[in-house]
Amino acid sequence: MRWTWDPDKAAANRVKHGLSFETAILVFDDPLHASKPDPHPDGDRWHTIALVGPVLLLVIHTCRKLNRKQASRSAALSARGRPPPTRGKPMKKETSKRLTRQQLAELKLLAALPDSAIDTSDAAEVLDWSGAKRGLFYRPVKQQLTLRLDADVVAWFKSHTKSNEGYQTRINRALREYVQGQASKSRRSRA
């Protein structure tokens, strides 16, 4: 997923919220993030909330397309600087990238803020998350590898791929569908 943002907006956001856009976009690395449309008069905005390290972040962003291939950009950010309450052991979760020292410092400062010090004036309060979609903007981490495939299989994917999508993307989707089908069969056989 490609992210773009206005440098002036990014600088203003860092001053206002103490958070860089580079850190804020990590909410989309959480496969369990929740996203809900924001009926803002300025256009298509979304509220997305997720864990980044120990901090629950709310990111307000726009989305150019509403399908699974959207290219999104961050537009405005707000963060709730309090670790969420937990019971038992914390869930093991990895982001697709390791947090940098700068990102860890930002998150530590946010976590230490009292709720009253968090500026949410540019974010309308969302009390009802019942219509939120889980993982809408999540993209699994890609792994580069060399793979030998039969020439006729590659030729078929190349000839049956739309111009707005690469043949490797289509091969990946076919493999993902196969894996999901196998996982479903496995679950049904255990039941």
pLDDT in tens, 106-120: 999 988 888 888 888
Rounded CA gap, 127 and 18, in Å?
24
- pTM summary value: 0.62
Distances (CA, A) of 144 to 137, 141, 168: 21, 10, 11
- Residues contacting residue 158 through CB under 8 Å, at least 6 positions apart: 167
Rounded CA gap, 166 and 184, in Å?
27
H/E stretch holding 104:
helix 101-112
Would you say residue 74 has pLDDT above 80?
no
56 phi, psi to nearest 5 deg: -85, 115
Rounded CA gap, 182 and 58, in Å?
35
- What local confidence, expressed as pLDDT, does residue 64 receive? 65
Tokens (6 digits) for 167: 């043949």
CB 107 within 8 A of CB 54: yes
Give the residue, 32 or 149, on which the prediction is more confident: 149
pLDDT in tens, 15-61: 888 889 989 989 988 888 999 888 777 767 889 999 888 888 988 88
